[in-house]
Amino acid sequence: MQMGEGVEWGLHCLMALVWLEEQGPVAAGRLAEVFELPPEYLKKRLQPLVRAGILASTPGARGGYSLARAPEKITLMDVVAAVEGREDAFRCTEIRQQGAGVLASVGEFGRPCGVAAAMRRAEMAWRRELAAQTLADLLGVAPAGAAGRVRRFHQSR
Amino acid sequence: MQMGEGVEWGLHCLMALVWLEEQGPVAAGRLAEVFELPPEYLKKRLQPLVRAGILASTPGARGGYSLARAPEKITLMDVVAAVEGREDAFRCTEIRQQGAGVLASVGEFGRPCGVAAAMRRAEMAWRRELAAQTLADLLGVAPAGAAGRVRRFHQSR
């Protein structure tokens, strides 16, 4: 079970956009340079963040991406849900009701399947942890020189 | 991000094998009937559980699957790791070191990336929850009639 690269790309781009905030919106091509990523492919990966209201996309020659809300208001769960979807990783297809399940007494399957409930508990622990961490927290633990370095790189282009 | 059906199939089959323990090893075809699953495909999905030492596979005409260890000794984490692999769902490809990263001062990337560390904390919360639940727990919350029903179904074939 693997995530796509969209979460890593998205979170790093969000951090860079905070550091480049004073320059106004950052075009996809310029943002791609900051991480040496393929611009068109990066655009596709960032699109879900625009749809989710995490990123703002300004059209036009001086347009580009900027944060749609404050870093404290963007949790890792918001980003993961936008990029990877809101469905649980585990899908219960109710195989318990098939085969021998046809012999079940009425009401036996009224309560959720214990397997699904157990997998859900783990999923919820993961979600709680992601929801408890914000972009502001990530910015807070970034290396001291990172913001200035990204700004210098961006201005040198 | 989605799991395959192997985890659901595997956990339900493990429960059924406990209920059918007194009948000796259960052939793949018979086990598939219990859940109305395609036998050859089920065999492929159970193979990782055999490799992981969770299931025992006895060859021969009276052979089949049985549990390789006690239900209290099989955690949901064991099953998920066997079926889905042990890698984290989030893969850090260190894009922070690319592009503007080449301007970094020596040692800036000595500490793990904050993004990777944050994603890892969530992954660990998920793993802890899965490791805290065993097959014995699942058996404990199964509907009262399930064991007898699966046994009756199996004997009627």
DSSP 8-class letter at A83 = H
What pLDDT band is residue A105 in, cutting at 50, 70 and 90? confident
Pick from A108, A117, A143: CB nearest B145: A108
User: Closest residue of A to B127, CA-based?
Assistant: A122
Residue B116 CB partners (closer than 8 Å, separation 6+): B90, B92
What pLDDT band is residue A111 in, cutting at 50, 70 and 90? confident
Amino acid A4: pLDDT: 85
Answer yes or no: is pLDDT of A67 > 90.
Answer: yes
Say if the Cβ atoms of A91 and B37 lie within 8 Å.
Answer: no
Answer yes or no: is pLDDT of A33 > 90.
Answer: yes
What pLDDT band is residue A29 in, cutting at 50, 70 and 90? very high
What pLDDT band is residue A108 in, cutting at 50, 70 and 90? confident
CB of A104 within 8 A of CB of B142?
Answer: no
10-residue block means of pLDDT along chain B (157 residues)? Answer: 90 97 94 96 96 95 94 98 91 91 86 93 96 97 93 91
Amino acid A11: pLDDT: 97
Which residue reads 């406990």 in tokens? B18
Answer yes or no: is pLDDT of A110 > 90.
Answer: no
Residue A62 CB partners (closer than 8 Å, separation 6+): A24, A25
Q: What is d(CA B61, CA B47) in angstroms, rounded to the nearest whole number?
A: 19
Backbone φ and ψ of B134, nearest 5°: -115, 170
What pLDDT band is residue A106 in, cutting at 50, 70 and 90? confident
Amino acid B50: pLDDT: 97
Say if the Cβ atoms of B118 and A133 lie within 8 Å.
Answer: yes
Show the tokens assigned to A3. 């995530």
Backbone φ and ψ of B86, nearest 5°: -100, -5
Backbone φ and ψ of B109, nearest 5°: -100, 15
Exposure string of A51-65, with b = 16+ CB inside 10 Å and e = fewer, is ebebbbbeeeeeebb
User: How many Cβ atoms from other residues are within 10 Å of residue B88's Cβ?
Assistant: 18
User: Closest residue of B to A108, CA-based?
Assistant: B143
Say if the Cβ atoms of B12 and A96 lie within 8 Å.
Answer: yes
Output the 3-class SS for chain B.
Answer: CCCCCHHHHHHHHHHHHHHCHHHCCECHHHHHHHHCCCHHHHHHHHHHHHHCCCEEEECCCCCEEEECCCHHHCEHHHHHHHHHCCCCCCCCCCHHHCHHHHHCCCCCCCCCCHHHHHHHHHHHHHHHHHHCCEHHHHHHHCCCCHHHHHHHHHHCC
Nearest residue to A82 (alpha-carbon basis) of A150, A28, A6: A6
Percent of chain A with pLDDT over 70: 100
Say if the Cβ atoms of A8 and B35 lie within 8 Å.
Answer: no
CB of B78 within 8 A of CB of B52?
Answer: yes
Answer yes or no: is pLDDT of A131 > 90.
Answer: yes
